[in-house]
Amino acid sequence: MRDSKLILTMGAALLLAGCGTTTPVALDAQMGQSVEMARAMQTLNPQASLDTRPVEMIDGKSADAVVDRYHKGFEQPTAVNIFNIGVGGGGTTLGATGGGSQ
């Protein structure tokens, strides 16, 4: 009876130990800062969405063709040529087959 209570207590302690947090609070406070910093460094003009002037670098016909080509790229994925070397089983090695010089 005493052994079963001890085992039950130890089991409960192990289960409750899984609920404890091991993540430091300082790590959680900095979560996502590196992504935000990388995004800010890669943005040329953060206020670009506020600029209402028309784009003058490309004419409408060319821009329409670019957008159509972009949308057609999602209709059917392009075929990918996969070439695997030494992946998976099925091959034999010299040591496993008994080959090689003696």
CA distance 46 to 86: 48
Q: Which two tokens stand for residue 17?
A: 């130990």
pLDDT tens, per residue, the chain with 102 residues:
778 888 989 888 888 777 776 666 666 778 889 999 999 999 998 898 899 988 788 888 999 999 999 999 888 777 788 877 776 666 555 555 555 554
pLDDT of residue 93: 55
Look up the pTM and report it: 0.31
pLDDT of residue 97: 52
DSSP for 2-52?
A: HHHHHHHHHHHHHHHHTTS--S-HHHHHTTTHHHHHHHHHH-S-TTGGG--
- SS3 category, 77: coil
Question: Phi/psi at 18 (nearest 5 deg)?
Answer: -70, -20
